[in-house]
Structure 1
Amino acid sequence: MRKLILPLLLCSLMSVPAWAQGPMKPGLWEMKVKSDALKNMPKIPPEQVAQMRKMGIEVPQIQDGAMVTKVCVTKAMAENEQLPGLEKNEAGCQTKNVQRSGSGYSADIVCSSDAMKGEGKVKATFSGNESFTSTYDFKGTVHGQPANQHSEQSGKWLAADCGSVKPAGAAAKK
């Protein structure tokens, strides 16, 4: 089950281009994802979560049915309109047919890797450079299993200083 959920959640997070209404404000962001996939995700016991964190694995919190993560967006990432998590596209998905309108946008997501095949549609609305909301719908297969997902994302800027949160992508480069 976890093998199916992780790629879908990754696609949900990657479906929010920062450039929809200019660059995201650099600093610490809180990202929330509510997803059909989360409803089916088995609950990880607290002791296992603690053990994973000791090993350096970032385990997002689940609050009110949403996965909540903190993300650090550097000034360079914001200026280059680089979305956290898209430095390397491990899901094999591409963004196509981007349509911008005012403070919103829509785009198609096409996935064609061995692990994930299918198509999705994302729609988002930015409120300046400090918050956004979006929806993402995907239909296809993940690891050969049928997958239909609906997710809702939101992000809000918290502070200019990221504190102990490393810039997005830094953990993967260790």
Structure 2
Amino acid sequence: MRRSLVSLLLFAIVSYGGTAWAADQMKPGLWEMAIKSGLLKSMPTLTPQQIKKMQDMGIKVPKMSDGGMVSEVCITKEMAARDTPPTAGIKSMGCESKDYRHNGTKYSLDIVCNGPDMKGQGRMEGTFSSDEAFTSTYQFKGLAHGQPIDQSSETTGKWISDDCGSVQPMDMEGQK
């Protein structure tokens, strides 16, 4: 269970790491990001005690339901103005984004992982329907904690509000 949960969290971090990013395409503010994947469907449901323990350790546990995970993400004006993808913790896992392309409303990037916990390659492609919504797909094949992983996911993002409230901006390897 612990190894599966760690693999799930690593997969989710890598998935969010390449989430939609293109200058003048994302409206700053609070966004709701939803990921659906086979890996998430296969995960056992966390008990309230497990969730509480993770929260006590400082882990913000996303809402999980129906094979998906929903999180709120704060995007600052500076982050929205960038035309480069965020790294959102992927470097610390031995991963890096490569070959980022943005053409009109479409974007794509590759993620290559060669760290002790995550090895393999992934590809993300997405489309903005407006500055308040996007969809993307992600495929990753490799190893997570020595276990084979061959997963795909679908992510949707929708803008919620100008005000992020208590949600802090994503940490972009020291860039906020």
What's the TM-score, normalizing by structure 2? Answer: 0.85
**Does the alignment pair 1:111 with 2:104?**
no
Contact kept, 8 Å, 2:123 with 2:138, in 1: the verdict is yes
Deviation per CA, 1:110-137, whole angstroms, max 9, x where unpaired?
A: 1111111111111100122211100000
Of 41-50 and 73-82, more deviation after overlay is shown by 73-82
Aligned to 1:5: 8
> Residues 82 and 49 (structure 1 numbering): CA distance in 2 closer, same or farther, change over 3 Å?
farther
Contact kept, 8 Å, 2:20 with 2:136, in 1: the verdict is no
Aligned to 2:156: 154
* CA shift for structure 1 position 82: 6.4
- Separation of aligned partners in 2, 1:137 and 1:54: 32
Aligned to 1:16: 19
Q: Which runs of 5+ in 1 are unaligned?
A: none
Deviation per CA, 1:55-93, whole angstroms, max 9, x where unpaired?
A: 542110013321000111122222235656626632222
Contact kept, 8 Å, 2:26 with 2:80, in 1: the verdict is yes
Give the residue type in structure 2 aligned to 1:159: S
Query: Runs (4+) of structure 1 moved beyond 4 Å?
Result: 81-85
Of 44-53 and 4-13, more deviation after overlay is shown by 44-53
Contact kept, 8 Å, 2:36 with 2:68, in 1: the verdict is yes
Contact kept, 8 Å, 2:93 with 2:116, in 1: the verdict is no
What's the TM-score, normalizing by structure 1? Answer: 0.86
* CA shift for structure 1 position 109: 1.4
What is the 5 A alignment of 1:1-174? 1-19=4-22, 22-81=24-83, 86=88, 89-169=91-171
- Separation of aligned partners in 2, 1:88 and 1:146: 18
Of 41-50 and 144-153, more deviation after overlay is shown by 41-50
Contact kept, 8 Å, 2:25 with 2:128, in 1: the verdict is no
- Separation of aligned partners in 1, 2:127 and 2:86: 17
> Residues 151 and 102 (structure 1 numbering): CA distance in 2 closer, same or farther, change over 3 Å?
same
Give the residue type in structure 1 aligned to 2:11: L
Q: Which runs of 5+ in 2 are unaligned?
A: none
Q: How many residues align?
A: 171
Of 85-94 and 158-167, more deviation after overlay is shown by 85-94
Contact kept, 8 Å, 1:115 with 1:143, in 2: the verdict is yes
3-state SS of 2:43 partner: coil
